[in-house]
Chains A and B, each alone.
Chain A
Amino acid sequence: MAGRVLIADDEPNIVVSIEFLMRQKGYETHVARDGEEALAAVESFRPDLVLLDVNMPRRDGFEVCQKLRADGWTDLKIVMLTAKGRDIEIEKGLALGADAYVTKPFSTRELVARVAALLGDGS
């Protein structure tokens, strides 16, 4: 069963790659380039899952995650993506309400599998 995935990242090349992967799986995608755009996009696009980069301009991923959860988006799945992989960052993300945390560079297969699992896709 397909779903809607919001991709929030400021690196265009990474966005291209993730978009390709998600579309290939049949998900509907939308892109946000910074934190503010991401919040707005959640409102308008109503995704089922957000792939959230931490290092974004104008609001970083932690802030977005925290706000989403505070605003009541509890069913929304949030997967955090970051090049910083320290334990403390992971804990912080999970504590803020992220459902998963993926470090870059990621394995495409792993990413796709994660998304599928979270969206209840059996494939």
Chain B
Amino acid sequence: MSHLNQKSSSWNILFLCWLVSSVSAMGSLFFSYVMEFAPCVLCWYQRIFLFPLVIILAVGLFPIDKSVVKYALPLAIAGWLTAAYHNLLYAGIVPESIQPCSQGVSCTEEYIDLFGFLSIPMLSLLSFSTIIALLIILKMRTTK
């Protein structure tokens, strides 16, 4: 019985993780296709790491397969690093001269500003952090 309980709570954690990645993916599509913000180069890299998570995590749900962490975590970490760099750039901590996207869409243009601190790169960083945290929790439950 306790084994069954543990199994279902692992499923819940993975489900939550999938939900976070799906909402983020949809949010990014909403920004570009509904609000018509052009995605900059760094946003594209973050999407490249985010979109596969939606599929991989969903596959891991049926039936629950905790080894999904092994495949999902590298993507999430790569996405997190890109998001972290993007935030540094956005905040002006990394000087503009080394930013890779001076042509086309600027990576530092401010599109939205929720509650005074939530920019689009910040939203991305938060969701990658949440995904990583949930994956690590799942991993620790497995090894126990």
Q: Do A and B come from one complex?
A: no
A contact set with B: CB distance below 8 Å = none
